[in-house]
Amino acid sequence: MRIWLGIFATACLTAGVLAQFAEGHRSEFTGFENCEDRDPGDLSPYLQVCLGPQGQEIWLPYSEHSSAMAIGPNGIEAQLEERPSLGGLDMMIGPVIDWRYRPDDEEPYAAIVRYRGLTPNYNQETGEYTGGTTTNSNILVVIALRADGPVSACHMAYINAMEMPNANEIAHALAADVAPRFVCGETRYLNADHPAWD
């Protein structure tokens, strides 16, 4: 499916113009709470499943250095194949999910979550861990929600929050503008490498 020209322009607009795309839309923030451990099967060494604001199952398979996220009920494995490219040794998701709602809707149409690539801090001479981490990547992932589709959610856009100081506003604008036309499994996600961003 063709991606609409002008998406890159959205990322370049002033904060005031960006706000017009999502005017009247609202956010609900949830952490990774109400979680339970489940058998991960072949997905990963560990798995937690948490609940979203309308009872959506949020799947969080993870290992020692990596994690992923999918939103149920459908297409969990397909969703877990989607993730931004991150620098660093470890990956962290969250700590909150930003669920986006249209003014008169009770069901969210998009979600926004932060992915970070981290590297533990070590003494370069001794190799000893000195505490804390360095953030190598900070990406906002804009997710289309399709509760009744064969895949319940899919990535629409990746926004580099380390380079864009108004990344949250850009994410809100893209969610409002692109979500109605985004077809999971057909439309290619947007990031700085996409032709529409040239």
80-134 per-position pLDDT tens digit: 888 776 666 677 888 999 999 998 889 999 999 998 877 767 666 676 766 666 7
- In the predicted model, what is the mean pLDDT of the chain? 78
pLDDT on residue 93: 85
Please determine, for residue 51, whether its predicted confidence score (pLDDT) is greater than 70.
yes
- Which tens digit of pLDDT belongs to each residue from 130-160? 666 676 778 899 999 988 888 899 998 889 8
Banded model confidence at residue 194, pLDDT cuts 50, 70, 90 = very low
**Banded pLDDT at 3 (limits 50, 70, 90):** very low
**Preceding omega of 95 cis (within 30 degrees of 0):** yes
Strand 129-145 vs strand 153-160: parallel, antiparallel, or unpaired?
antiparallel
Share of the chain above pLDDT 90, in %: 24
Q: What is the pTM of this model?
A: 0.81
Residue 2: pLDDT band with limits 50, 70, 90:
very low
Closest CA to 182 of 147, 151, 156, 157: 156
Residues in the chain: 198
**pLDDT, mean of residues 162-167:** 86
Reading across the β-sheet that carries 36-37, which strands appear in turn? 36-37, 46-51, 57-62, 70-71
